[in-house]
């Protein structure tokens, strides 16, 4: 699949304004990202809300702690949300995450039938919701999600930069 046109995809994602529940969920996702950094993992946090805006799942990167390459914040949050409602089908739900999802996480949210994706920082190296690829809105796939990108992007980017700069220090 060819890479998405970043400028066009980003412009589309920015036209949609986040709801109040999205902003509250992003604040919680940022708190989870800080916890991930404190555990020496990449600072990414995620929250799943139901159609009413209530939190039904949370996650943070746990790859270092669990030695599980699939333990990205999004996957952890999706698993918790599915368990909390007793169904893999999360239609009507929103995934709020501090970093644009990678291909694996974009695929997971589509497989779970998540209706909306709200994210903070754009990922120009591995993003699959508008930066490198636009899997989440690919019309060739059987399900798609509405995308709201750049929510609290500065806060998310600051956490990521600080984490990686601290790892580069001698």
Q: Identify the burial level of 134 via C-beta atoms within 10 angstroms of its C-beta, where 0-12 means exposed, 13-18 middle and 19 or more buried.
A: buried
Strand residue runs (E) in 74-135: 94-99, 116-121
Question: Does residue 74 carry a catalytic annotation?
Answer: yes
DSSP state of 129: B
Active-site option among 74, 100, 146, 165:
74
Name the H helices within 20-72.
Answer: 20-38, 63-66
Residues in Cβ contact with 7 at an 8 Å cutoff, skipping those fewer than 6 apart: none
Q: 48 and 33 in contact (C-beta within 8 Å)?
A: no
CA torsion sign, 155 to 161 to 162 to 167? positive
Active site residues: 74
């Amino acid at each position: 699949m060819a890479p998405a046109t970043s400028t066009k995809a980003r412009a589309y994602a920015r036209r949609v304004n986040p709801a109040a529940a999205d902003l509250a969920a992003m604040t919680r996702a940022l708190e989870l990202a800080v916890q991930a950094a404190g555990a020496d993992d990449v600072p990414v946090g995620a929250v799943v809300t139901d159609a009413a805006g209530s939190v039904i799942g949370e996650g943070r990167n746990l790859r270092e702690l669990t030695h599980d390459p699939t333990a990205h914040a999004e996957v952890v949050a999706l698993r918790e949300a599915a368990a909390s409602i007793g169904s893999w089908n999360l239609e009507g739900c929103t995934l709020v995450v501090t970093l644009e999802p990678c291909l694996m996480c974009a695929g997971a949210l589509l497989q779970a039938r998540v209706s909306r994706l709200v994210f903070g920082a754009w990922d120009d190296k591995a993003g699959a919701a508008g930066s490198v690829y636009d899997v989440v809105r690919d019309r060739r796939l059987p399900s798609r999600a509405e995308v709201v990108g750049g929510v609290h992007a500065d806060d998310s980017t600051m956490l990521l930069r600080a984490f990686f700069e601290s790892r580069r220090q001698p």
